[in-house]
Amino acid sequence: IGGMNRPEMRPELRERLLEAMLRELDEKGREGISVTAVLAGLGVSEEEFAAEFDDLDACVDAAYEELTARIAAAVRDGCAGSPPSGSERAWADRVRGGLEALLAELAADPLRARTLTRTYPALGPRGQARYQSFLDSFVPLLAPGREVSEVSRELPAIVESLAIGAVEAILFEEIACARAEQLPALLPSLLFSVLVPVLGPVAAATEMEKAQR
């Protein structure tokens, strides 16, 4: 009964707490985070924290979920801002819109980009599983490409995952080298790498040249 009377945290305060946890995680690592210090800095009571999270790990996990959900939503919005799928051009435009949104999100906040791809996944199996789940969430956005591909029957079942893996490997390296702010410049080459197995080199090169312009 006593737990039912614990004060609930205001949404804006919860958001600030999650942002602070991501920052602390990136700067100090999991073992270096002082929950007491973070709460004091934000004016959050231990009772409010306990009402929201079981422990530090639960809070860090929630912060990462918020981060990935926001980025995934931006990518979906980027895809939706292009014409509906139904032709090679329309599908390519949707992929381009999603990539543009992803690169913009990562470039806007290099610290969060590093936390997304490196710091949190490095926590261990739990972090790696959540990161992989985030990557897998983009597979449905690429799947409509099979409907417009002239070689759809020849495409392997994991072609979308392979395309996402290729993009992720490049982004991971760029972020690791502290070049997150320069990621939007990679749009043409990343777009080509995603489109080429589905549309072929000629059509993919055409879309790449459009992106370069």
Distance in angstroms (rounded) separating the CA atoms of residues 165 and 92: 18
Task: Give me the mean pLDDT over the 149-160 stretch.
Answer: 87
Measured CA distances, 169 to 6, 128, 193 (Å): 44, 15, 12
Q: What is the pLDDT of residue 69?
A: 96
User: How far is it, in rounded angstroms, from Cα 24 to Cα 35?
Assistant: 10
Q: Please report which confidence band the pLDDT of residue 80 belongs to, taking 50, 70 and 90 as the band edges.
A: confident
- The DSSP output letter for 86 is S
Q: What separation in angstroms does the CA of 208 have from each of 27, 70, 75, 109, 211?
A: 37, 27, 19, 26, 5
Q: Residue 106 — very low, low, confident or very high, per pLDDT cuts 50/70/90?
A: very high
Residue 88: pLDDT band with limits 50, 70, 90? low
- Given pLDDT bands bounded at 50, 70 and 90, which one contains residue 150? confident
Element (H, E) at 81: none
Say what the alpha-carbon torsion angle 88, 93, 95, 96 is, to the nearest 10 degrees.
140
pTM assigned to the model: 0.88
Res. 89 pLDDT band, cuts 50 70 90: confident
Question: What's the confidence (pLDDT) of residue 4?
Answer: 52
User: Which among 108, 116, 112, 111 is positioned nearest to 137, based on CA atoms?
Assistant: 116
Q: Which residue has the higher pLDDT, 36 or 81?
A: 36
Q: According to the model, what pLDDT value does residue 2 have?
A: 42
pLDDT at 60 > cutoff 80 = yes
Q: For residue range 8-29, list pLDDT tens digits in order.
A: 788 889 999 999 999 999 999 9
As a whole number of angstroms, the distance between CA 26 and CA 29 comes to: 6
Separation between Cα atoms, residue 118 and residue 201, nearest integer Å: 32
* Tokens at 103, concatenated: 């690169």
| Confidence (pLDDT) at 107 | 98
Instruction: Report the amino acid identity of residue 59.
Output: C
Q: How far apart are CA 198 and CA 25, in angstroms?
A: 39
- Which residue in this structure is represented by tokens 């799947």? 143
Instruction: Give the confidence band of 84 by pLDDT, cuts at 50, 70, 90.
Output: low
pLDDT for 82: 57
How far is residue 172's CA from residue 190's CA, in Å, rounded to a whole number? 13
Is the pLDDT score of 148 beyond 80? yes
Residues 6 or more apart whose CB falls under 8 angstroms from that of 163 comprise 142, 193, 194, 197, 198
1 falls in which pLDDT band (50, 70, 90)?
very low
pLDDT of residue 3: 46
Average pLDDT over all residues of the chain: 91
| Residue 40 to residue 27: CA distance in whole angstroms | 18
Q: How confident is the model at residue 142 (pLDDT cuts 50, 70, 90)?
A: very high
Residue 8 is predicted with a pLDDT of 74
